[in-house]
Amino acid sequence: MKSKNTKFIATVKEDDVKDVDKIAEDLSSDGIQIDKVSKLFGIINGNSHSSLEELKSKYEPKGISFEQDRDVKI
């Protein structure tokens, strides 16, 4: 069975921006690939084998919102 790959942007709560590195570490230990962490914005870019809906249902109650990393064009 072909595994899913969700390229995502995660946004932590405003109060947690200072802890974004720790939150990224926690996601990583859950098996999520972290590509970039923005300490300025409190945003994490990465990839996961879970679907976007699965990521949302697992992490949004913890205050981390997930959205698809979109393709953007001119």
Partner 1 sequence: MPTKKNDSTKVVNLLLTQGDRPRFTGKRMVTMNREARPSSIRKISKKASLNIASIKDFSSNIGNFHEAFTQSDGIYFEKFKIAIINEGNEEQVKFMHDASTGTTDSFTSEPERFVYAVPKKRILAASENSNTVPSSSEFTWGAQAIKLPNAKYTGKGIKIAVLDTGLNLSHPDFSRLSIQSKSFIKNLAVEDKNGHGTHCCGIAVGAINKKTGQRYGVAIDANLFVGKVLSNAGSGDDSGIIAGLEWAIENKCKVISMSLGSAVKPGETFSPAYERIAKTALTNNCIIVAAAGNESQRQFGLINPVGHPANCPSILAVAAIDDTMKVADFSCGGINLDGGQVDIAAPGVDIYSSWKGKTYNTISGTSMATPFVAGISCLYWEAFPNSKASDIWMMLSQYAFRLDALSSNVGAGLAQSK
* Structural contact between residues 48 and 55, judged by C-beta atoms closer than 8 angstroms: yes
Interacting residue ranges for partner 1, rule: CB under 8 A: 7, 9-11, 14, 35-36, 38, 40-43, 45, 65, 67, 69-74
Q: How many CB atoms lie within 10 A of CB 27?
A: 21
Cβ 1 to partner 1 shortest distance, Å? 26
Comparison of 26 and 69: residue with beta carbon closer to partner 1: 69
Cβ 39 to partner 1 shortest distance, Å? 9
What is the DSSP code string of 5-44?
-EEEEEEE-GGGGGGHHHHHHHHHHTTPEEEEEETTTTEE
Comparison of 1 and 70: residue with beta carbon closer to partner 1: 70
